[in-house]
A = this chain, B = another copy of it.
Amino acid sequence: MQESKYGKVTPELIEEFKKIVPGKVHVNGDINEDYFHDEMPIYGKGAPDVVVEATTTEDIASIVKLCYENNIPVIPRGAGTGLTGAAVAIYGGVMIDMSKMNKILGYDKENFVVKVQAGVLLNDLAEDAQKQGLMYPPDPGEKFATLGGNVSTNAGGMRAVKYGCTRDYVRAMTVVLPTGEIVKMGATVSKTSTGYSLLNLMIGSEGTLGIITELTLKVIPAPKETISLIIPYENLEDCIATVPKFFMAHLQPQALEFMEKEIVLASERYLGKSVFPQKLDGIDIGAYLLVTFDGDNMEELEAITEQASEVVFEQGAIDVLVADTPAKKKDAWAARSSFLEAIEAETKLLDECDVVVPVNQIAKYLTFVKSLEDDYDFKIKSFGHAGDGNLHIYACANDMDEAVFKKQVADFMKIIYKKAAECGGLISGEHGIGYGKMDYLADFAGEANMRIMKGIKEVFDPKMILNPGKVCYKL
């Protein structure tokens, strides 16, 4: 077994940990099984020998140093909401539960940043910033992930089309290296050309290069008003073809999501509430755009709505339904936000793919994916971010044998990842590689890029103790 290269977590070592963080060290029977997997259990389970509740950067550094000296795996974990098995202790060792470092340390309103501990939940920062008249723009579907987790996957989310991804909002971070050293990367500035960007290398590295303990994040003045539009189309092609037209018309939607009818129905069943029209003027609706605009006042947004309506009707939209009250906006977005839960509620066996393709390839790509459905015993459901080409494709089965499901899914995934690459896309838009997507990354990136990634891993983590067996480095 590979893990034999690692040292054992001895009772003596556990006593050392307890001296560093008294009352925060959990072992064996005392560890909740939730820690054994993430939100996609199909990528395997693994029990850590020890779970440590994170307290301070310095304490984490002390624990990591001990693990470094004793060759023990260290697995940082946020809220465990990942979808690729990145936060699972596949070689045992010490799991550091970062969700316990959850303080918002303070806003700097002259420089438009907020300093947080890495375990703060996205939802908590979003709500707190709002109270300050500010907005933290990244808005991934999962609101109860930690910000450290968001940074570790460069999470994108709904508002990426206007505001960019998590990467664009990370100004600085404090990191515990696999050696136990504490380093700072970046600063409260928006411009830098100060050596290799270790900050940008850490972003999206899924807890394999260092443990992020504190973050300085950019915030912006909160938009004063928003308006959402539900735009039904007869089919997905017309729906997707609208997307570039928004930008050419100088419209800047805050969010621009597409959804096929089937998944909207599933979501509405899950929520017990129907908001999206299924038939209009005798036409069966096949797909929808859900669009949000933000601005300084409702007059501005009404003008934008008028302009957007012209654009979409020219592209074959059947109607434009305006959600301009908090209740209506909540209803419209509730359906979108519940897609994953709705799928999970109806599905026993689940696997997913998170490719990103150029925006003008979405319709072609999804048509191809849908065409494969007859070849397999599972169902395919998809939704995604029309504004940025990030697609979430789910293989769902209820009556299949798990081994057969896994075999069929492996075949399916191989085909659709290859197709994504042919369309000029990438393996993952925002969920990451973790443990579940390593082979697809290796196939895609090619030998030289993989050699460089592995080399970088060795530079940061010469003993391979930090989150081993993830992203690019198989043990």
One of A22-30, A353-361, A406-414 contacting the partner: A353-361
Chain A, 38-80, CB within 8 A of any chain B CB:
none
Q: Give min CB distance, A359 to chain B, whole Å.
A: 6
Chain A, 347-396, CB within 8 A of any chain B CB:
354, 356-360, 385, 388-390
Cβ-defined partner of A433 (8 Å) among B190, B195, B220: B195
Q: Interface residue count for A (Cβ, 8 Å)?
A: 82
Of A193, A198, A247, A471, most buried by chain B (CB within 10 Å of CB) is A193
Contacts of A428 in B (CB 8 A): 192-194
Copies of chain A in the complex: 2
Contacts of A455 in B (CB 8 A): 456, 458-460
B187 and A425 contacting across the interface, CB-CB below 8 Å: yes
B356 and A192 contacting across the interface, CB-CB below 8 Å: yes
B221 and A432 contacting across the interface, CB-CB below 8 Å: no
Contacts of A432 in B (CB 8 A): 193
A183 within 8 A of B: yes
A160 within 8 A of B: yes
Chain A, 160-206, CB within 8 A of any chain B CB:
160-161, 164-165, 167-168, 177, 179, 181, 183, 185, 187-198, 200-201, 203-205
B112 and A247 contacting across the interface, CB-CB below 8 Å: yes
CA distance in complex: A406, B215 (Å): 39
A164 and B189 contacting across the interface, CB-CB below 8 Å: no
B459 and A452 contacting across the interface, CB-CB below 8 Å: yes
CA distance in complex: A357, B192 (Å): 10
Q: Give min CB distance, A32 to chain B, whole Å.
A: 27
CA distance in complex: A429, B197 (Å): 12
Known contacts A426-B189, A446-B183: does B196 contact A453 (CB below 8 Å)? yes
CA distance in complex: A472, B459 (Å): 15
A448 within 8 A of B: yes
A130 within 8 A of B: no
Known contacts A197-B200, A203-B197, A456-B456: does B189 contact A250 (CB below 8 Å)? no
For the complex with contacts A177-B452, A194-B441, A459-B459, 19 further pairs of A-B residues with Cβ separation under 8 Å are A109-B244, A111-B358, A111-B360, A161-B190, A177-B448, A181-B448, A183-B449, A189-B356, A189-B358, A189-B389, A189-B390, A190-B389, A191-B356, A191-B389, A191-B390, A192-B429, A194-B426, A194-B445, A198-B452
Question: Can you list 28 A-B contacts with CB-CB less than 8 angstroms, sorted by A residue number?
Answer: A110-B244, A111-B244, A154-B192, A156-B193, A160-B191, A165-B190, A167-B197, A167-B200, A179-B448, A187-B425, A189-B358, A189-B425, A191-B389, A191-B429, A192-B204, A192-B356, A192-B429, A193-B204, A193-B431, A193-B433, A194-B445, A195-B204, A195-B445, A195-B449, A196-B205, A200-B203, A452-B460, A455-B456
